[in-house]
Amino acid sequence: MHPVRSFFQATRDIRILWGSVFFRMAGYGLTNQVLTLHLEALGISESNIGLFMSLTLVGDTMISYFLTWNADRIGRKRVMMFGTLLMFTSGFTFAFSSNFLVLLTAAILGVISPSGDETGPFKSVEEASIAHLTPENHRPEVYAFYGVFATAGAAFGSLICGFLVDYMNASVGFPIEKCYRIIFLVYTGISIIKFILVCFLSPKCEIHNHDMDNIASEENSLLEAVEQDTTKSNFVSLSDRTFYLLPRLLAIFMLDSLGYGFMTSTWIVYYLKKTFEATATGLGLLFFLTNTVNSISSLPSAYLAKLLGPVRAILFTQAPSGAFFIVVAFLSNFYSASFFLLLYYITTSMDVVPRQILLTSLMPREELTKVMGIVNIGKTFARCIGPIFTGKFAAHGVLHYGFIINGGCVLLADLILATNFLHVDAEILHKQSIDAGFD
């Protein structure tokens, strides 16, 4: 484990991608605090808010499918630039429109995160680019820093939003709806910063750049077998090995995301606001803390992935995470609920780096953009289902059911993963033992 070495040796493109995810997640952290409450302030019912969330995720799935599947042909940099323009468009629309259908169209065709987490084509393309730019033995650390910057951005956005809303509402005297609209204007400003950053990416991020070809000779027999199968694939198909492994992994990841869709961060904010009458500043501070501990946990997760192997690392962190989330449903005050939410957020993202390692180690480099796209699209699609029911739960005063369903799906997904994929840890740990440097 050499995080300091990996951090300072990382190339300029990797650093730009770290900056890109920081600002994007800062924008999502901002809108996460106000999206559900803004829709309610516009007079939209809880059931329709749930429908809104689901349809937004459907739109994200469609946009992500097209852009990620074609990213290597269009160009990864161009796809990220276009996605940033979609962020700007949707944020601008939310800042000035009150019409439900207009907002829904902007959310579906643009990039608004209904969950406060990753949405759109960015994550898939960035993860594939990082894998392309990073040797195997540095990937856990580089992905860990990617996660650190992502959650640090979300924490920053959450904190700023809470204080801004309360200041504008209580001190300046702005109506609460106007406060929410200003937050979306800040979101558009962040999208401009992100666009400028992406413009500085070099051609090395593209799959057709072969500067990293020397790394392939150091990969073990597992990846060599995968690359032999890859010769059978073309732009519209995947290798035989990918067809074998990907559906099995995807089913596990989608089950996990299915549960998450029942209680996304925006609904957690809504639950805490309605159940415990939490203030915007209190919620901002809480989600600043949760995202901060979430950020810090990325580095230990890289260590666990190298020590235990990615599958065992996922199981070690996700099982407690699911249990902590279920407990929240049975708590009767804000402070105890906040404590268990902190425990949940400490552990819930510790599986992100191991999952990235698992996928990038098993799949051929030439197919990573498509594979990452399929996985993230599948996870987003699975999340579409939950919000419809969550809106109904909220309307009938049983929103706490979402915590139970979420945690139950996580525990079931862990059981299936342990049954089917524990054996791959040894192969991946061997691959990571090969020392290589950045190009």
pLDDT bin (cut points 50, 70, 90) of residue 209 is low
| pLDDT of 248 above 90 | yes
Cα-based distances in Å from 66 to 20, 37, 93, 403: 21, 31, 23, 32
Cβ(230)–Cβ(364) under 8 Å?
Answer: yes
Q: What is the pLDDT of residues 311-368, one digit of tens each?
A: 999 999 899 999 999 999 999 999 999 999 999 988 887 888 898 889 888 888 888 8
For the chain, helix (H) and strand (E) counts, in that order, are: 22, 0
Helix axes 280-296, 139-166, angle to 10 degrees: 170
pLDDT at 117 over 70: no
Q: How far apart are CA 104 and CA 110, in angstroms?
A: 10
Torsion of CA 297, 118, 88, 77, to 10 degrees: 90
Give the H/E segment covering residue 392. helix 385-395
Each residue of 417-434: b (16+ CB within 10 Å) or e?
Answer: beeebeebbeebbebbee
With CA atoms as reference, report the closest residue to 14 among 138, 121, 153, 156: 138
The pLDDT of 169-181, averaged and rounded, is 93
Averaged pLDDT of the chain: 85
**Inter-residue contact 388 to 45 (CB < 8 Å):** no
8 Å CB contact between 378 and 250: yes
pLDDT at 181 over 90: yes
Question: In the predicted model, what is the mean pLDDT of residues 78-105?
Answer: 92
Contact between residue 263 and residue 318 where contact means Cβ atoms under 8 Å apart = no
Which structure tokens are listed for 382?
Answer: 């699975």
Do 63 and 124 meet the contact criterion of CB atoms below 8 Å apart? no
Tell me which architecture the domain covering 12-206+240-432 has in CATH.
Up-down Bundle (1.20)
Domain residue spans of the chain: 12-206+240-432
Asked whether residue 83 carries a pLDDT value surpassing 70, the answer given is yes
Angle at 73 between CA 70 and CA 75, to 5 degrees: 95
More confident: 21 or 109: 21
Selected residue with higher pLDDT from 115 and 124 = 124
CA distance 191 to 81: 10
